Amino acid sequence: MKKTRVINSNISRVIAQMGHFDTIGIGDAGMPVPADTEKIDLAVEAGLPSFIQVLENVLSELEVQKVYLAEEIKVQNPEQLAAVKKVVGDTPIEFIPHEEMKKDLSDTKAFIRTGEETPYSNILLESGVVF
């Protein structure tokens, strides 16, 4: 059995296949996922698991050089923005329009759906390198 925190086999597989500049998305229960993007659905019920719980889990194993958040999170969900900033630390954040984020999901390796039900709780993680 794996000793690291990411024990979901699909998430672990996607992380292992990530290359430099590849992206993976994590988001709320309502984010529309393009048909050609792999969706890893973890949602059990409203709030379970939370967006932050899943983000922390993925960040424990994935080297991230940049994150993308919806511009709208600044006004519509400042509490979640503060939580994300705390979790990502010094990782650079780029804000993009939510509509652009939805389009960018077509280029991600996968999207992890959580049970989160707060607005604009979506993120794109850009893979870095460990060397």
Tell me the binding residues.
Answer: 28, 98, 120-122
Q: How many Å is the Cα radius of gyration of the chain?
A: 13
Tell me the two tokens of residue 63: 């080297």
Among candidate residues 2, 5, 20, 103, the one labeled active-site is: 20
Let me know if 20 is a catalytic residue.
Answer: yes
Q: Which two tokens stand for residue 2?
A: 């794996």
Annotated binding residues for substrate, written as ranges, equal: 28, 98, 120-122
Among residues 33, 52, 24, which one has the least CA distance to residue 126?
24
Q: Is the peptide bond before 78 cis (omega within 30 degrees of 0)?
A: no
| Distance separating alpha carbons of residues 59 and 65, to the nearest angstrom | 11
Which amino acid makes up residue 5?
A: R
- What residues form DSSP beta bridges with 124? 25, 68
Q: So which residues are the catalytic ones?
A: 20
